[in-house]
Amino acid sequence: MAETQTTAPSVIPKTAPQAEIGVIGGSGFYSFLDDVTEITVDTPYGAPSDSLFLGEVAGRRVAFLPRHGRKHHLPPHRINYRANLWALRSVGVRQVLGPCAVGGLRPEFGPGTLLVPDQIVDRTKARAQTYFDGEPLPDGGPRPNVVHLTFADPYCPQGRLAALKAARGRDWEPVDGGTLVVIEGPRFSTRAESRWHAAQGWSVVGMTGHPEAVLARELELCYTSLTLVTDLDAGTEAGDGVSHEEVMRVFASNVDRLRDVLFDAVAALPDPAERDCVCARAHEGRDLGIELP
């Protein structure tokens, strides 16, 4: 992969607006941009997965964050999701696109399928999934209030429309809607687990979509998931089961067109100042006990 031209990392004040849109995905998405600036951002929850890589796409300022770190050293259960979303918001991001690799739970959702889910099921076991747990911030900051968020529709409706339109514009007919079930990992599902997921009517299975989506909502960020099917899950396929090598191979072979779709989706997102969606008013003005970054 091509080396990205970057400037030296620097810590910036969390209020300096540097980007409006965040993309949580690896170097395959930003290494082709002409001018990328690398910045490090600290948060009350510790460091995010990596530096933020700032660039411009279709006239919009975008912050790219490699979810697993640039060397892919963080497994899904060790990603600091709270730091990642906090860091993005602290540089000005208000809309987030979260592409991820998933397994298909139906035979018709084979490798190469692009599915934009509208629902999520949390089957993770040990992840911090709220900023509002009634404890002082980990860095000794103020104590957030206890908040129970409405989360009936976990994804941004405007973001989903932008993603669907972008995919169709690239002749990649997406599956519009479906349920992403998120497992703890890092292992893949057993056949029994996979058959159970499929029997529930769920569509695809992954390891990173939660708690990303709910943490974004807690920060009043628009969040849209774009799932790329890299394999049929163990209960759906007839072979030896899912392998990491297969997942990486299929993801790599689709990364170019997924990047095209992401960039077109960036261009199609509404102006953040004109956000008219549930995400932007998730807290409805309630007292949070902390200020969002």
Residue set of the binding site for substrate:
207, 231-233
147 versus 277: smaller Cβ distance to Zn ion = 277
Residue 279 engages Zn ion in binding (rule: CB under 5 A): yes
Rounded to whole angstroms, the Cα distance separating 97 from 22 reads 6
Return the SS3 of 62: strand
Work out whether 222 is an interface residue with Zn ion (CB under 5 A). yes
- Amino acid (1-letter code) at residue 247: V
As measured in angstroms, the least distance from the Cβ of 128 to Zn ion is 23
The residues near 209 (Cβ < 8 Å, ≥ 6 apart) are 98, 100, 117, 120, 180, 182, 225, 227
- Of 50, 122, 231, 264, the active-site residue reads 231
Nearer to Zn ion, 21 or 205 (CB): 21
d(CA 181, CA 201): 10
State the distance between the two ends of the chain, measured CA to CA, in whole angstroms.
Answer: 34
Active site residue 233: yes
- What six digits make up the tokens of 21? 């849109």
Q: Is residue 123 classed as helix, strand or coil in its secondary structure?
A: strand
Instruction: Please report whether residue 234 would count as binding Zn ion according to CB under 5 A.
Output: no
Binding residues: 27, 67-68, 207-208, 231-233
Q: What's the sign of the alpha-carbon dihedral 102, 124, 67, 71?
A: negative
> In the bound complex, what is the minimum distance in angstroms from residue 277's beta carbon to Zn ion?
3
The one among 47, 161, 277, 288 contacting Zn ion by CB under 5 A: 277
Contact 211, 91 (CB under 8 A): no
Report the run of H or E that residue 53 belongs to, with start and end. strand 52-57
Catalytic residue among 50, 233, 240, 260: 233
Residue with Cβ nearer Zn ion (163 or 279): 279
Which 150-179 positions form the footprint of Zn ion (CB under 5 A)? 156
Q: Which stretch binds Zn ion (CB under 5 A): 34-42, 182-190, 222-230, 232-240?
A: 222-230
Q: Which residues are catalytic?
A: 231, 233
Q: Which residues bind Zn ion (CB under 5 A)?
A: 156, 222, 277, 279
